[in-house]
C-alpha cells in the first residue's frame, strides 16, 4: 500500500514538474521568443509572424503615428514579400529585460535597425500572454530614440 502511495506521489510530482517546465512564460523562453519575433520581421517570415500574433494584437508605433492590428502587420509583410523589399539589413536587440506577472510577460529593450545606410534605434516594450501553454504577442510599442547631437 505504501509503495502505491509513493508511486502515485512521484507520478503526480513529475506531471506537475513537467507542466511547469513547459510554460513559455520564463525569462529565457521569452527572450528567445522575442528574438524570434525580431528575426521573423527581418526575414519577412509571414507564417511565423501570423502564428505568434494574438488575434487582438495591437502595435503602437512611434508617437502613435501608426497603430496596427494583426491584419495590418500581415498585410505589410505580404507587400514587402511581393515587392522584394529587403531594405532592412539587420535588427539587433540589446538591454533586454523581462517581467512576468501571472500569464503575462513583458519584454523591453533597445532594437537597432540597419535600413539602407541608416541606423535607427528604437525602445520597445512587447507584451506576451500565455494561452493554453503557448505564448502569443498581444501588444507591441516602439518609440524611436533620437540621435544625440
pLDDT tens for the chain, 149 residues long, are 666 654 565 555 445 444 445 678 999 999 999 999 999 999 999 999 999 999 999 999 998 889 999 999 999 999 999 999 888 899 999 999 999 999 999 999 999 999 888 899 999 999 999 999 899 999 999 999 988 75
Q: State the first-to-last Cα distance of the chain, in angstroms, to the nearest integer.
A: 77
The C-alpha cell at 121 is: 534605434
Whole-number pLDDT of residue 26: 94
Whole-number pLDDT of residue 55: 96
Candidates 144, 127, 147; CA nearest to 52 is: 127
List, in sequence order, every residue forming a beta bridge with 136; answer none if it has no partner. Answer: 129
User: CA–CA separation, 129 vs 16, rounded Å?
Assistant: 21
pTM, entire model: 0.81
Whole-number pLDDT of residue 149: 55
CB-CB contact of 106 with 125 (8 Å): yes
Pairing of strands 53-60, 134-144: parallel
Amino acid at each position: 500500500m505504501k509503495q502505491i502511495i509513493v508511486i502515485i506521489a512521484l507520478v503526480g510530482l513529475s506531471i506537475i514538474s513537467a507542466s511547469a517546465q513547459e510554460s513559455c512564460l520564463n525569462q529565457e523562453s521569452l527572450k528567445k521568443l522575442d528574438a524570434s519575433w525580431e528575426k521573423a520581421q527581418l526575414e519577412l517570415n509571414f507564417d511565423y509572424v501570423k502564428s505568434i500574433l494574438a488575434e487582438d494584437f495591437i502595435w503602437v508605433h512611434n508617437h502613435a503615428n501608426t497603430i496596427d492590428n494583426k491584419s495590418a502587420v500581415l498585410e505589410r509583410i505580404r507587400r514587402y514579400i511581393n515587392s522584394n523589399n529587403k531594405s532592412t539589413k539587420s535588427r539587433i536587440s540589446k538591454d533586454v529585460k523581462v517581467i512576468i506577472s501571472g500569464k503575462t510577460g513583458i519584454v523591453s529593450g533597445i532594437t537597432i535597425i540597419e535600413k539602407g545606410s541608416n541606423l535607427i534605434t528604437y525602445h520597445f516594450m512587447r507584451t506576451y500572454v500565455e494561452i493554453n501553454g503557448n505564448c502569443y504577442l498581444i501588444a507591441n510599442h516602439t518609440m524611436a530614440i533620437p540621435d544625440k547631437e
